[in-house]
Amino acid sequence: MDYSYVYLILLLPVLSFLVLGLLGMKMNHKTAGLIGTVAVGAVFVLSCYTAYQYFIGIGRGADGLYPTVTAFNFTWLKFTELLTFNIGFRLTPISVMMLVVISTVSFMVHIYSFGYMHGEKGFQRYFAFLSLFTMSMLGLVVATNIFQMYLFWELVGVSSYLLIGFYYPLHSAVAASKKAFIVTRFADLFFLIGILFYSFYVGTFNFDLTADPVLAGKVAGASWVMPMALFLMFIGGAGKSAMFPLHIWLPDAMEGPTPVSALIHAATMVVAGVFLVASLFPLFVQYAPEQLHWIAYIAAFTAFYAASVACVQSDIKRVLAFSTISQIGFMLVALGVSMPDPTSVGVAMTPEYADTLGLGYMASMFHLFTHAMFKACLFLGAGAVIHAVHSNEKAYMGGLRKYMPITHITFLISCLAIAGIPPFSGFFSKDEILVACYNFHPVMGIVMSGIAMMTAFYMFRLYYVIFWGKSYYETHKGEEGVHAPHEAPATMTFPLIFLSLITCTVFLWADKAGQFVSANGHGFTTHINWPIATASTVLALLAIGLATFMYKGEKTPVADKLAKTFPTLYRAAYKRFYMDEVWQFVTHRVIFACVSRPIAWFDRHVVDGFFNFLAWGTNEAGESIRPWQSGDVRQYAIWFLTGSVALTLILISLL
């Protein structure tokens, strides 16, 4: 198969960014939007075609594995035969899947933005930034080596900074973009350190360490450093994927336009950490299984923490933001509970391993796909609601099902999916995650089942608050500034329908998920573990029933009473358990006061003082000897003779 065309997948969004960035202000909004949308639409078509050819057209090789295809790979800098800086395009099962996910969500966001961003100042700039972000994320997932991944990793950070701070006249948007940039850069520092350790001791930036016998020998000698290097790289992924305690940037990133929230928080930036761990999965399993399990513990706590906070938030976008954090936790838990084969002490090349000990890998990637579709639909649905009521707060909503029927149905479908109700997509992917957790340890399975139950509760709390209950419009009709809600235009509802249809039809191929992506590349037929699936469904239905009881009516006496009964707990959860305040204390009172200020004082008074002293001493010495330059030859002769006599006497005494 000829994959020579794949460079267009990266080139088209780059060209769109350059054209819109340089010439966008000379275009009208429609032209600029069409350029960006057509470019990403072409990328979507190319990505789907590539996926079809890779998975179906060519299929598995004689060894039963999908091939790793390097379409192109240019050497940028060469240090040794193995240690080189390469820029290329690499196709693997997970990278091809990510191409489809990123291009699909990005294309839908571009179409949606036509309606949502209509009339906004900076419309052309917005589409330019979208193109840059799309290119950066696509370049990240097709990287041929860790160094290239890191380059596009940083480009993702830069473009997300630009998108989150799109409304730069607003102080909150500027603060949110800076917060996201600083937190993720802090995490990326650890990623870079891990890459340096990895490349120094292993001698390469490559993902595959088994292709070269020389490289395999180096890896064996560097096995002692691999756990530390891999965990440091995970910290970089934890920053991007908003794992506790590096999650604080994600809720504030809601200050950006809602389509940006869908793009960043549904399918792209936040799953970069998941993709990183999945790309390095064989190394984790073989050299750092304990670190992999620690990733699971961190992710499980993050999922619980985020779900707890989401249960009480009043801003609908922040509910979805914490929901994203929780669901990313599910994906990383699935990867973390994977275990090495007892015989090979690594990834065993058998279908049995892929279906048991390595099941979490497939479950994580499967959930990444399903989550991207229904979470993008949820964010875009929230955007349609905000577009209708001109507020993010639940107090201004209620009863919108009568005014926004399409948004209502698509939002409900996505809520059922994330809650894990069959036959919607989330049921199948979350079931596989829970099975992997129970295979690891029953306690982990019980904990994640409980968190899944919390997910169903807070999502249906959000659903009822928006579409049922007391209508703000009907109770405040006729007041100044109160407008009748209305359904979003076709450019906004089409992406909702498209994404919800994907969510509804996953059941048609859910049993084949293991045929496309698995821990060792061997295909296997996924199957539903009915005891676990039944239990999780019952728990989800109970949670939905509880949310219905508490929030469906025009008044919510039970919820109000609970908030008054436990005011401290309620306020703590609403304030995100004061994690922002903790970080403020750590940065200002500890890092700035105890580290930064002493270093600054040392720099100003010791380092600068030393060099200032050298300058002063040189100047004073010059001023002191300047009179010696009198121009009197007789005086020069006296000094010369005196020095000669002194030097002679010294030499005589020494001899």
The confidence score (pLDDT) of residue 525 equals 86
Higher pLDDT residue, 315 or 627?
315
Q: For residue 539, which phi and psi values (nearest 5 degrees)?
A: -60, -40
Per-residue burial over 428-458, b = 16 or more CB atoms within 10 Å of its CB, e = otherwise: bbbbbbbbbbbbbeeebbebbbebbbbbbbb
SS3 content of the chain, % helix, strand, coil (to 5): 75, 5, 20
- Report DSSP state, residue 89: E
- Report DSSP state, residue 488: P
What mean pLDDT comes out for the span 186-193? 91
Classify residue 8 as exposed, middle or buried by CB count within 10 Å of its CB (0-12, 13-18, 19+): middle
In the predicted structure, residue 3 carries a pLDDT above the cut 70: yes
What mean pLDDT comes out for the span 573-593? 84
The pLDDT-based confidence of 219 (bands split at 50, 70, 90) is low
User: How confident is the model over 111-153, as pLDDT tens digits?
Assistant: 988 888 877 788 888 889 999 999 999 999 998 888 889 999 9
Please measure the distance between the N-terminal and C-terminal CA atoms of the chain and give it in whole angstroms.
Answer: 87
What is the sign, positive or negative, of the torsion defined by CA atoms of 338, 343, 347, 349?
negative
* Other beta carbons within 10 Å of 22: 10
- Residue at 293: amino acid letter: H
Instruction: State both tokens at 229.
Output: 């290097």
Distance CA 365, CA 334 (A): 9
The pLDDT-based confidence of 224 (bands split at 50, 70, 90) is confident
User: How confident is the model over 425-470, as pLDDT tens digits?
Assistant: 889 999 999 999 999 999 999 999 999 999 999 999 999 988 887 8
The confidence score (pLDDT) of residue 42 equals 93
User: How confident is the model over 19-55, as pLDDT tens digits?
Assistant: 988 887 888 888 888 898 999 999 999 999 999 988 8
Identify the three-state secondary structure at position 78. Answer: strand
Average pLDDT score over the chain: 86
Closest of 184, 305, 186 to residue 244, by C-alpha: 305
In the predicted structure, residue 211 carries a pLDDT above the cut 60: no
Distance CA 256, CA 259 (A): 8
Closest of 111, 98, 212, 134 to residue 517, by C-alpha: 98
Identify the three-state secondary structure at position 76. Answer: strand
Q: Are 346 and 340 in contact (CB under 8 A)?
A: yes
What mean pLDDT comes out for the span 180-201? 88
Distance CA 368, CA 364 (A): 6
Helix axes of 123-141 and 272-279: crossing angle, nearest 10 degrees = 20
Report the 3 state secondary structure along 522-533: CCCCCCCCHHHH
Distance CA 13, CA 133 (A): 9
User: How confident is the model over 403-415, as pLDDT tens digits?
Assistant: 889 999 999 999 9
User: How confident is the model over 286-308, as pLDDT tens digits?
Assistant: 888 899 999 999 999 999 999 99
What is the sign, positive or negative, of the torsion defined by CA atoms of 596, 598, 601, 605?
negative
Q: Are 191 and 179 in contact (CB under 8 A)?
A: no
The pTM assigned to this predicted structure is 0.88
Give percent of the chain above pLDDT 90.
Answer: 30
∠ CA 22-39-66, nearest 5°, is: 130
- Report DSSP state, residue 469: S
Distance CA 105, CA 368 (A): 12
User: How confident is the model over 65-82, as pLDDT tens digits?
Assistant: 888 888 888 888 777 766
Q: Are 10 and 48 in contact (CB under 8 A)?
A: no
The confidence score (pLDDT) of residue 270 equals 86
Helices then strands, counting H and E runs in the chain, come out as: 29, 2
Torsional class of 77: left (φ above 0), alpha (ψ -120 to 50), beta (otherwise): beta
In the predicted structure, residue 478 carries a pLDDT above the cut 80: no
The pLDDT-based confidence of 501 (bands split at 50, 70, 90) is very high
Distance CA 334, CA 364 (A): 5
The β-bridge partners of 70 are 90
Distance CA 317, CA 520 (A): 37
Q: Are 405 and 487 in contact (CB under 8 A)?
A: yes
Closest of 367, 315, 359 to residue 337, by C-alpha: 359
Closest of 310, 242, 260, 330 to residue 463, by C-alpha: 310
The β-bridge partners of 206 are 145
Give percent of the chain above pLDDT 70.
Answer: 96
The confidence score (pLDDT) of residue 81 equals 67
Q: Are 312 and 570 in contact (CB under 8 A)?
A: yes
Distance of CA 300 to the CA centre of its chain: 17
The confidence score (pLDDT) of residue 450 equals 93
The pLDDT-based confidence of 214 (bands split at 50, 70, 90) is low
Q: Are 375 and 458 in contact (CB under 8 A)?
A: no
The confidence score (pLDDT) of residue 393 equals 82
Higher pLDDT residue, 108 or 1?
108
The β-bridge partners of 393 are 315
Distance CA 158, CA 346 (A): 36
- Report DSSP state, residue 170: S
The confidence score (pLDDT) of residue 364 equals 93
The confidence score (pLDDT) of residue 331 equals 93
The confidence score (pLDDT) of residue 445 equals 92
Q: Look at the block and give the residue holding tokens 């399918």.
A: 267
Distance CA 423, CA 413 (A): 10
Q: Are 504 and 415 in contact (CB under 8 A)?
A: no
∠ CA 38-42-48, nearest 5°, is: 145
- Report DSSP state, residue 509: T
Q: Are 264 and 325 in contact (CB under 8 A)?
A: no
Distance CA 322, CA 265 (A): 10
The β-bridge partners of 72 are 89
The pLDDT-based confidence of 542 (bands split at 50, 70, 90) is very high
